[in-house]
A and B are shown apart, each in its own frame.
Chain A
């Protein structure tokens, strides 16, 4: 979420302008980018994308170092274990294979695309056997002209439909390989428009099919997909109330006077509320920060017949007269989120500026004056992009609600221990397997605070570690208020009888309950049964994880210097009495 500096802004849509900007990005002039090695395997000559990819990446927080395999050599490149592809050690591999080259006969007389899909499926597997890099398959765009022209839509052998079916099959192939994703190129082409997408001159001269506009659009969308895979998304959308969720000021116009309903202009706001509810169902937390009388806002949410959003849809509400930035700070603290996990959507330019100045880490969206554009601005902000959506994401809002109930209970208890005991916590701990791997990889990718080493292993890398003898555990937690889902991960790898804790993390929603002690105890127990005699713990400090600086000393590990601690496994580690622990076999 770095604010995009001027180097990459307002560029003329020419290779010359992008090349200039790309050189400055490569020289390190844009700060705080995450370096990313990307390899492109293509059936066409794709290296003209290079400057566009670098600039579009920098706009999204990535310093992309692209490498292009010689075009047309998909398998040759993928199968050569000691070839140039793996020498690059790419973190992402993009397979850009067009039907024009994969199945040229399809454009003369339509037919099945099964063979083309099977070829890409095999390619995915070959790559996965040789690398843990994230894999992206570029799906198939519709052709500029259909062979059967206006008659295609009626044909049993419809070309357009065959391509849609092939794209569905590509998605199936990606779901079957861990860390493989579809890059929805077909969608990019559709959004931009097929007319003006290709440049026949470029293809004739250089085997490069795109117009400059198409190169920019493709690079932008690819960078967006790469960001979704490699940079944690924002977690919470903080909304204003008046003129954001409804038209008008409820405190002045009253419940019946605001614009919210089935006719213009109320239907514009109702539609935006539906958009927000969809976002919430996808796992984004909604919060409300409004300068208002609390009773007025709650009356709309509780009583207005056309309000799609209700009080319980918000993980947290701050309705008062204090500064917006103060409310945002409190929201982040109450939800255990970093300030940079917040996105503000507020129609009032004054409030936006106040937050921009006071809290530069917050992503403040430029809300347009026209409420008809609210939904599009939110979607195009890319702030909540996610490539895979897990069951936990979909339950998250409910979980935070339960958290609020727990907070109420905490006020009633006399001591922290009494409170924790009253929660009736039950932890279930099990070995990471195919079913839990996606969620585990997701936690590694986005956990910042309670994370000892902040290693961002991909699903494929975790599988590889397990296959070579590491122990990887997940932890689920439930209590009397509800189920938190899978919230903890511990991975230890052996080196003779000494085991190193490679990864130890906890989702922020269960911090402060000593559940980590239960997980550590189980990890130690398991390592011991595998012949380990010592456990080595490491702490890699980041801007976010000071919380766990003393984690190992607190658990009676001995200081070895250099942020490393060791513990003999001769005695079992204690586990808190107030957490019931089950082992999942």
Chain B
């Protein structure tokens, strides 16, 4: 399954990957602040070889939303 995404999120936030799941979002995760969010999406871009629009940056605020954005880009 898509552990790569959760691992990047864990590295960005500085938390153990075991604390993250499909429900994790900016809203329910203290460490996922606005600075972490930019770092997260920039890291995802590099690791998945994609480039997101500013609107997508604003939408990708949960693990579920990120998976939808990656899928829309045809990323694995």
Binding site for B on A (CB under 8 A): 12-17, 19-20, 23, 47-48, 51, 201-202, 204-206, 208, 212
Chain B residues whose CB sits within 8 angstroms of the CB of A23 once the complex forms: 14
A-B contact list, 30 entries, CB within 8 Å: A14-B43, A14-B46, A14-B47, A15-B38, A15-B39, A15-B40, A16-B8, A16-B11, A16-B39, A16-B43, A16-B47, A17-B11, A19-B12, A19-B14, A19-B39, A20-B11, A20-B14, A23-B14, A47-B35, A48-B38, A48-B39, A201-B53, A201-B54, A201-B57, A202-B38, A205-B54, A205-B58, A206-B34, A206-B38, A212-B42
Q: Provide the B37-53 mask, 1 if CB < 8 A to any CB of A, else 0.
A: 01110110011000001
Which single residue of chain A is at the shortest CB-CB distance from B58?
Answer: A205
How far does the alpha carbon of A400 sit from the alpha carbon of B47 in the complex, in Å?
53
Chain A residues whose CB sits within 8 angstroms of the CB of B14 once the complex forms: 19-20, 23
Which single residue of chain B is at the shortest CB-CB distance from A50?
Answer: B35
Chain B residues whose CB sits within 8 angstroms of the CB of A204 once the complex forms: 54
Which single residue of chain A is at the shortest CB-CB distance from B12?
Answer: A16
How far does the alpha carbon of A15 sit from the alpha carbon of B9 in the complex, in Å?
11
How far does the alpha carbon of A17 sit from the alpha carbon of B39 in the complex, in Å?
10
Known: A19-B39, A201-B57; 11 extra A-B contacts, CB below 8 A, are A12-B47, A14-B43, A14-B46, A15-B38, A15-B43, A16-B11, A16-B47, A19-B14, A47-B35, A48-B38, A48-B39
Chain B residues whose CB sits within 8 angstroms of the CB of A212 once the complex forms: 42, 46
Q: Is the CB of B38 within 8 A of A12?
A: no
Chain B residues whose CB sits within 8 angstroms of the CB of A16 once the complex forms: 8, 11-12, 39-40, 43, 47
How far does the alpha carbon of A457 sit from the alpha carbon of B35 in the complex, in Å?
36
Q: Is the CB of B11 within 8 A of A205?
A: no
Q: Is the CB of A12 within 8 A of B35?
A: no
| B36 → A minimal CB distance (Å) | 8
Which single residue of chain A is at the shortest CB-CB distance from B46?
Answer: A14
| A235 → B minimal CB distance (Å) | 40
Q: Is the CB of B46 within 8 A of A13?
A: yes
Interface of B is mostly: helix
Which single residue of chain B is at the shortest CB-CB distance from A15?
Answer: B39
Instruction: Give the contacts of B26-74 with A (CB-CB under 8 A).
Output: 34-35, 38-40, 42-43, 46-47, 53-54, 57-58
| A130 → B minimal CB distance (Å) | 29
Q: Among the interface residues A15, A202, A206, A208, which one has the most CB atoms of the partner chain B within 10 A?
A: A15
Chain B residues whose CB sits within 8 angstroms of the CB of A208 once the complex forms: 38
Q: Is the CB of A48 within 8 A of B53?
A: no
Q: Among the interface residues B34, B35, B42, B58, which one has the most CB atoms of the partner chain A within 10 A?
A: B42
How far does the alpha carbon of A201 sit from the alpha carbon of B53 in the complex, in Å?
7
Which single residue of chain A is at the shortest CB-CB distance from B53?
Answer: A201
Chain A residues whose CB sits within 8 angstroms of the CB of B47 once the complex forms: 12, 14, 16
Chain A residues whose CB sits within 8 angstroms of the CB of B43 once the complex forms: 14-17
How far does the alpha carbon of A23 sit from the alpha carbon of B15 in the complex, in Å?
11
How far does the alpha carbon of A205 sit from the alpha carbon of B35 in the complex, in Å?
11
The 3 closest A-B pairs by CB, nearest first: A15-B39, A16-B43, A16-B11
Residue A48 contacts which of B11, B35, B46, B57 (CB distance < 8 angstroms)?
B35
Chain A residues whose CB sits within 8 angstroms of the CB of B46 once the complex forms: 12-14, 212
With A47-B35, A48-B35 in contact, do A15 and B42 touch (Cβ < 8 Å)? yes
How far does the alpha carbon of A467 sit from the alpha carbon of B21 in the complex, in Å?
62
| A479 → B minimal CB distance (Å) | 60
Q: Among the interface residues B8, B11, B14, B53, which one has the most CB atoms of the partner chain A within 10 A?
A: B11
| B66 → A minimal CB distance (Å) | 13
How far does the alpha carbon of A204 sit from the alpha carbon of B14 in the complex, in Å?
26
Chain A residues whose CB sits within 8 angstroms of the CB of B42 once the complex forms: 14-15, 202, 212
Q: Among the interface residues B8, B12, B14, which one has the most CB atoms of the partner chain A within 10 A?
A: B12
Chain B residues whose CB sits within 8 angstroms of the CB of A47 once the complex forms: 35
| A99 → B minimal CB distance (Å) | 24
Chain A residues whose CB sits within 8 angstroms of the CB of B58 once the complex forms: 205
| A27 → B minimal CB distance (Å) | 11
| B30 → A minimal CB distance (Å) | 16
How far does the alpha carbon of A206 sit from the alpha carbon of B36 in the complex, in Å?
12
Chain B residues whose CB sits within 8 angstroms of the CB of A13 once the complex forms: 46
| B20 → A minimal CB distance (Å) | 13
Chain B residues whose CB sits within 8 angstroms of the CB of A17 once the complex forms: 11, 43
| A421 → B minimal CB distance (Å) | 67
How far does the alpha carbon of A20 sit from the alpha carbon of B7 in the complex, in Å?
11
How far does the alpha carbon of A12 sit from the alpha carbon of B47 in the complex, in Å?
9
Chain B residues whose CB sits within 8 angstroms of the CB of A48 once the complex forms: 35, 38-39
| B40 → A minimal CB distance (Å) | 7
Chain B residues whose CB sits within 8 angstroms of the CB of A12 once the complex forms: 46-47
Chain A residues whose CB sits within 8 angstroms of the CB of B12 once the complex forms: 15-16, 19
| A552 → B minimal CB distance (Å) | 49
How far does the alpha carbon of A354 sit from the alpha carbon of B62 in the complex, in Å?
54
| B34 → A minimal CB distance (Å) | 7
Which single residue of chain A is at the shortest CB-CB distance from B38?
Answer: A206
| A206 → B minimal CB distance (Å) | 6
Chain B residues whose CB sits within 8 angstroms of the CB of A14 once the complex forms: 8, 42-43, 46-47
Chain A residues whose CB sits within 8 angstroms of the CB of B39 once the complex forms: 15-16, 19, 48, 51
How far does the alpha carbon of A16 sit from the alpha carbon of B42 in the complex, in Å?
9
How far does the alpha carbon of A519 sit from the alpha carbon of B38 in the complex, in Å?
58
With A14-B46, A23-B14 in contact, do A205 and B57 touch (Cβ < 8 Å)? yes
How far does the alpha carbon of A12 sit from the alpha carbon of B45 in the complex, in Å?
12
Which single residue of chain B is at the shortest CB-CB distance from A17?
Answer: B11
| B26 → A minimal CB distance (Å) | 14
How far does the alpha carbon of A14 sit from the alpha carbon of B40 in the complex, in Å?
9
Chain B residues whose CB sits within 8 angstroms of the CB of A51 once the complex forms: 39
Q: Is the CB of A205 within 8 A of B38?
A: yes
How far does the alpha carbon of A408 sit from the alpha carbon of B31 in the complex, in Å?
68
How far does the alpha carbon of A201 sit from the alpha carbon of B14 in the complex, in Å?
25
How far does the alpha carbon of A11 sit from the alpha carbon of B40 in the complex, in Å?
16
